């Protein structure tokens, strides 16, 4: 799909908004692991360390799969994925032209 430079720029802004929200989600997951570690105060910290490492690694893989191969032709699909995951909302699509919004909303179901 080819979009104008202006539409691609708007899609990138939406993607960046969603990416920032995803970073926050990842940090909240890591914080949850650390909070659990502090509450339990175990003698052996290894399990919590490994869980924290796994949590961050798995979330990093998710981020990489979604955003590492970002090209103008994939912007709309990334926005669809973000919308499906609830990272962005329909309100975030308001700046897009109506036909692009409809494409995103109708294509995803």
Query: Looking at beta carbons, which pairs linking 27-36 to residues 24 or more positions away fall under 8 Å?
Result: 29/55, 29/59, 30/55, 30/56, 30/59
Local confidence pLDDT in tens for the 109 residues of the chain: 689 999 999 999 999 999 999 999 999 999 999 999 999 988 889 999 999 999 999 999 999 999 998 998 899 999 999 999 999 999 999 999 999 999 999 986 5
Cα distances (Å, whole numbers) of residue 108 to 8, 26, 73, 79, 105: 19, 25, 17, 10, 6
Angle at 69 between CA 10 and CA 15, to 5 degrees: 25
What pTM did the predictor assign?
0.88
Residue 68: phi and psi, rounded to 5, are -70, -35
**b/e map 12-27, b = 16+ CB within 10 Å:** eebbeebbebbeeebe
């Amino acid at each position: 799909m080819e979009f104008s430079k202006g539409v691609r720029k708007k899609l990138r802004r939406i993607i960046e908004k969603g990416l920032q929200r995803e970073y926050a989600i990842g940090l909240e997951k890591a914080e949850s692991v650390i909070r659990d570690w502090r509450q339990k105060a175990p003698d052996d910290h290894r399990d919590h360390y490994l869980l924290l490492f796994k949590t961050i690694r798995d979330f990093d893989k998710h981020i990489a799969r979604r955003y590492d191969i970002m090209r103008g032709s994939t912007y709309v699909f990334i926005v669809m994925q973000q919308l499906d995951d609830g990272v962005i909302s329909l309100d975030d699509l308001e700046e897009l032209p109506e036909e692009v919004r409809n494409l995103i909303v109708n294509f995803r179901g």
